[in-house]
Amino acid sequence: MIEKGRPMPDADLIIALSKLLATVPGVAEERTEAHATFLTNKKIFAFTRKGGGVALKLPRERIDDLLQREDVIPLTMGKRTMKEWILLNHARPSDYKKDLALFQEAIAFVSAGKNK
């Protein structure tokens, strides 16, 4: 379950995601000490989030299915719930490996250019 009030993403999470996504062709990364953004063809498909977790851009229909998981919630920025984004949060950075296919879905979705 995603906890409120968690600290900013730590270096271990950023390193784990960098290693995981480095295996996927066409992925670029922009990084600061406390944040990482992952892109394909200069379009963002994922980023680490202040408060923990990773935001992923996916089709609305897919998001409806994923919201059944305990480790997924809608991405909210300010008071606005983003329609094509989820927040995925695992207890350990290494746990994101099991969601590589989900990251690949986000890459395919963003690459298709049908999103808004």
Question: pLDDT by residue (tens digit) across 47-102?
Answer: 998 778 999 999 999 999 999 999 999 999 899 999 999 999 999 999 999 999 99
Q: Please indicate, yes or no, if residue 2 is contained in any of the structural domains.
A: no
Is position 1 within any domain?
no
User: What pLDDT is stored for residue 113 in this prediction?
Assistant: 83
Identify which of 64, 61, 56 has the alpha carbon closest to the alpha carbon of residue 37. 56
The range of the structural domain enclosing residue 98 comes to 11-112
Predicted local distance difference test score (pLDDT) of residue 7: 46
- In-domain check, residue 61: yes
Q: What is the pLDDT of residue 1?
A: 39
Question: Has residue 77 been placed in a domain?
Answer: yes
pLDDT tier for residue 42 given thresholds of 50, 70 and 90:
very high
CA–CA dist 43, 116 (Å, integer)? 12
Whether residue 46 is contained in a domain is answered as yes
Report the domain count for the chain: 1
- Kindly report the pTM of this predicted structure: 0.86
Look at residue 114 in the predicted model and tell me its pLDDT. 65
CATH number of domain containing 33: 3.90.1150.30
Question: How sure is the predictor about 3, in pLDDT bands with cuts at 50, 70 and 90?
Answer: very low
* Other CB atoms within 10 Å distance of the CB of residue 30: 11
Continuous segment of H or E residues that includes residue 110: helix 100-112
Do the beta carbons of residue 9 and residue 48 sit within 8 Å?
Answer: yes
CA distance 31 to 60: 27
Residue 4 lies in a domain: no
**Domain contains 3:** no
